[in-house]
Amino acid sequence: MPLLSSVPSPPLPALAPVRAAAQDVLDPAHLRDALRVSPADATLAAALRCGAAVALAIAVPGLLGRPDLAAFASLGALTSLYGRYDPYRRRAALLATVGALMTGTIAAFTLLAVVGAPTIVTTAAVALLAAGATAFCLLVRTGPPGATIVVFAAGAGLAGSPALADLGPRVLAGASGALLAWLVCMTGTLVRPTAPARLAVRRAADAVAVVAWETSRGGGVALGGPPSDAALPAPAPHGTLAAQAAVRRAREVLADDASWRLPRRAVPALSRELDEIERTLDALGAPREDAAAPVRTSLTAQARSRVHGSWRLATARVGVSGLVAGGVAAVAGLGHAAWATMGSTAVLQGESTRHAVVRALQRGAGTVAGALLAWPLLAAPLGFWGTAAVVVVLQTVTETIVGRHYGLAMLTITPMALLMTSLAHRADPAALALDRALDTVLGAVVGVLAVVLVHPRPRARENRGTARENLGAAREDPGRRPGSSLAGSDLDRLQHLRDERRDG
């Protein structure tokens, strides 16, 4: 009779992704990444646009004698956060769509509060909204801040004890804020309509310059002329990918600008400049991307082209984590369960495990510290106009630093959000700050758990031989991804760099 082997059996295939994700979550490198300050450019103009939109939005209800509506107007004005570097024609469509989404969210959730919907219904509705908004943001490629602000609008709609008569004014205030944001963000067409294209081309040049510097440093190659293939070391993968993405992005922006009159005359010169940048990248040994020249497409067409992409997993994670986080917050008696859903949604707006963990660390720690800073501000007798001024300053400062370090930005985001909430209805400062901190930390933890536990369903017809090969490769290198020549940690690091760029 053969002796029983003492070698442990391999893990069940269904649990392998969970175990791998758990190991990745516990990687100590995430803590270092959470402390790292990232470079960011072109932040001042976007910050001033957002600050101006919020200032105008708050001022209108204040001057009309309805300061209770200022919070909803400022929420509508946060539409200005989207499409900050998009060409103007796409920006116009995107801001109008997001503004309608924000206004509709305020209306729907105010109505739920009016009819006295039970907690289980409102919690499920917020989670469903978070999932739907995430799908929209991924399909349309809105960029930051993703679905987070939409969930914030849902929480504002549920706040207080509104009557049916409050529905119209709230919706009108939100719509007016969104309209003001649209006008502020589109004024650049009157001054410099080619600014987004020039920025995109400049970023492509900067990204290629980084590849050139890395290549010359690695091989001691002079960059005065095209080096031979033998003398040219391979460019660093992350630098090459970033440069190719920057060139591709510039092509898309130029295609958009070529489709309308104002910036069209500048497109040929910028295209020639971009051609020269791409030739430099080719000379550095980067593989040329064989892709057709981009053409301008509508938001609907862009969404259709990505229907078969990877948006479903992120949407499912956001929905499940939002339901769990909001449910736990409601059962625990926390005052703003929607904030817990917002916390889980925020950490899941990237596509990598690394991004989720880093965002959870930064958002959790930053919110706790920000709540402590908000406490004395909430208790101070600032009055309406004093509070409005602080909100505008904090919003402007936030937009200058959020691309550099998300955790530092939470030091201004948290007081700003709580002061905006206080514009609608007064609350105990200590209780409001504590709710924000606890809800956010809860949401961040649940969001990370969703990354660990929620994975794509394995295909029933997966080739067993391939699965065995992947298992063997995983034993040799636990960080390696199936079907990839790079280790899983490398792929996550590249994806995290991409998410960081998008968050800027």
DSSP element (H, E) containing 17: helix 16-25
pLDDT in tens, 42-97: 889 999 999 999 999 999 999 999 999 999 999 999 999 999 999 999 999 999 99
pLDDT in tens, 301-315: 888 888 888 899 999
Are 414 and 366 spatial neighbours (Cβ–Cβ below 8 Å)? yes
Burial class, 383, CB count within 10 angstroms (exposed 0-12 / middle 13-18 / buried 19+): exposed
pLDDT in tens, 301-353: 888 888 888 899 999 999 999 999 999 999 998 888 999 999 999 999 877 78
Report pLDDT for 308: 86
Averaged pLDDT for residues 16-39: 84
Please name which of 130, 129, 112 lies closest in space to residue 121, comparing C-alpha atoms.
Answer: 112
State pTM to two decimals: 0.82
**Euclidean distance between CA atoms 159 and 178, whole angstroms:** 20
Report pLDDT for 8: 53
**Euclidean distance between CA atoms 134 and 140, whole angstroms:** 10
Q: Which pair of structure tokens corresponds to residue 306? A: 């990505």
Sign of CA dihedral 369, 78, 118, 159: positive
Sign of CA dihedral 299, 305, 310, 311: positive
Residue indicated by tokens 């505008």: 392
SS3 220: coil
Whether 138 has a pLDDT exceeding 90, the answer reads yes
Domain ranges of the chain: 43-190+310-453, 194-303
Please name which of 290, 286, 175 lies closest in space to residue 240, comparing C-alpha atoms.
Answer: 286
**Euclidean distance between CA atoms 196 and 142, whole angstroms:** 15
Report pLDDT for 218: 61
Residue indicated by tokens 């591709």: 248
Whether 166 has a pLDDT exceeding 60, the answer reads yes
Sequence-ordered list of residues with C-beta below 8 angstroms from that of 105, at least 6 positions apart, any chain: 129, 150, 153, 154, 157
Confidence class for position 289, pLDDT limits 50, 70, 90: low
Are 101 and 181 spatial neighbours (Cβ–Cβ below 8 Å)? no
* Identity of the amino acid at 16: A
Residue indicated by tokens 């394995």: 458
Sequence-ordered list of residues with C-beta below 8 angstroms from that of 50, at least 6 positions apart, any chain: 77, 78, 80, 81, 181, 395, 396, 399
Q: DSSP alpha helices (H): ranges in 380-487? A: 383-401, 406-424, 429-453, 464-476
> What's the chain's average pLDDT?
83
* Identity of the amino acid at 205: A
* Alpha carbons within 13 A on the beta-carbon side of 262: 16
The three-state DSSP-derived secondary structure of 293-360 is CCCCCCHHHHHHHCCCCCHHHHHHHHHHHHHHHHHHHHHCCCCCHHHHHHHHHHHCCCCCHHHHHHHH
CB count within 10 Å of CB 128 equals 14
Residue indicated by tokens 């990918």: 241
Are 68 and 169 spatial neighbours (Cβ–Cβ below 8 Å)? no
